[in-house]
Amino acid sequence: MTDSENHFNSGVPTGRETWAELKLSPDQYRRLVNRYRLRYLRRASGFLAPYMILWLVFLAIPVGWAIFLSFNDDGVLAPRYWVGFENWARTFDDSELTQVVFNTSVFVALAITIVFGLAIFLASLINNHRRGENFFKVTLYFPLLAPPILGAMIWHFMLHFDFGIVNLIKVGIFGGEGVNFLGKNPRAMGSIIAVEIWRGLGFWVLFYLAGLQSVPGEFLEAAKLDGARSFRRFLRISAPMMRPLFLFALVIAIIMNFQLFDSVKILTDGGPRMGTATIVWFIYRRMFAFQDTGLAFAASVGLLIGTMLLTLAVFWLLRQRSKGET
């Protein structure tokens, strides 16, 4: 290796030296730069290869296969054959799918609004009153330690009309009949929303608490000296600085809540009269109860596309709002 190449390997990666400073001709300098870039790309590809393999195996290939099957009629016993957009056309004509899309949209809107409001309120309380902070963190996060199915089964045991603990206590103390939490709407949908809030509240409290604690203290102290109360300090200082955090949280919450299945399957199984059925429950039912795989795959891909479009719409709206404020 020449002295110029040694100097290149030690200094040129910064990109500040010129070919004249290295005493190289333009062609020599270009070859050395290309050699370094190729070596850099090889190293980068080695680091990226495991992730790309996992991405292909667990995401790209399954999604591509689902898209392909959405254009086929693939029964359990019947051979697969191409049907084009027939399955997609059926998704627009299916009254059950229309109902579950409406149910899921209502659930997502209510669950996110309530859980975010409670999470921000509790995070602000914990942030302003540090006494017992660790106790509240552990207590609120505890429901997340239980598997979703186990949590739903516990609530089913508590809310059941005949032998639920809540109804036994209610009848024993106040008399009368028990409350049919899971068999009538809107109580059934409200019960599912309550269970999901119970399960996810701790995560979002810790999420927003971390955001509140990242706000520079000098800004809050200056506002406090000016006489601003806690709510005004949050509204004028903390909230604007946490806007990217709010955006990220909203996108994640939308994706998570559109995938609701466990609580619906265990608590109500979509009832009463499809009143709590969600999109994922509909896909599961079409796939395994009716073996209507074509419609199930079309609905799955539609859910993926709809979630992506809704996420992009949230980004666009918040970006437009940010531009308007600036």
Asked whether residue 102 falls in the same domain as residue 198, the answer is yes
3-state secondary structure of 5: helix
Does residue 84 form part of some domain? no
Most confident of 4-13, 30-39, 108-117, 177-186: 108-117
Number of structural domains (the chain) is 2
Asked whether residue 171 falls in the same domain as residue 259, the answer is yes
Asked whether residue 144 falls in the same domain as residue 274, the answer is yes
CA dihedral 273, 276, 278, 284 (to 10 degrees): -60
CA atoms within 13 A on the CB side of 296: 18
Per mean pLDDT, which range of 40-44, 184-188, 209-213 is the poorest?
40-44
3-state secondary structure of 81: strand
pLDDT digits (tens, 9 = 90+) for 281-301: 999 999 999 888 999 999 999
Asked whether residue 166 falls in the same domain as residue 242, the answer is yes
Of 140, 150, 264, residue with least CA distance to 200: 140
d(CA 207, CA 257): 17
Does residue 65 form part of some domain? no
Q: Could you give the C-alpha distances from 295 to 63, 73, 92, 180, 209, in angstroms and in order?
A: 15, 8, 11, 33, 43
Whether 219 and 240 have beta carbons less than 8 Å apart is answered as no
Does residue 234 form part of some domain? yes
d(CA 114, CA 220): 26
d(CA 213, CA 241): 11
d(CA 205, CA 137): 8
For position 45, what pLDDT does the model report? 84
Q: Answer yes or no: pTM beyond 0.95.
A: no
Asked whether residue 46 falls in the same domain as residue 124, the answer is no
Provide the domain limits for residue 130.
89-325
Tokens representing residue 59 in the block = 């995401």
pLDDT digits (tens, 9 = 90+) for 132-155: 888 888 899 999 998 999 999 999
For position 9, what pLDDT does the model report? 47
Whether 152 and 262 have beta carbons less than 8 Å apart is answered as yes
Asked whether residue 120 falls in the same domain as residue 255, the answer is yes
Contacts with 28 (C-beta within 8 Å, 6 or more apart), sequence order: 4, 19
Does residue 149 form part of some domain? yes
What mean pLDDT is reported for the chain?
87
Q: What is the CATH number of the domain that holds 124?
A: 1.10.3720.10
For position 19, what pLDDT does the model report? 52
Residue with the bigger pLDDT between 177 and 102: it is 102
Asked whether residue 50 falls in the same domain as residue 143, the answer is no
Whether 282 and 266 have beta carbons less than 8 Å apart is answered as no
Asked whether residue 182 falls in the same domain as residue 308, the answer is yes
pLDDT digits (tens, 9 = 90+) for 65-90: 999 999 998 765 566 788 899 999 99
DSSP secondary structure code for residue 178 in this structure: P
Q: Could you give the C-alpha distances from 169 to 93, 175, 246, in angstroms and in order?
A: 46, 9, 40
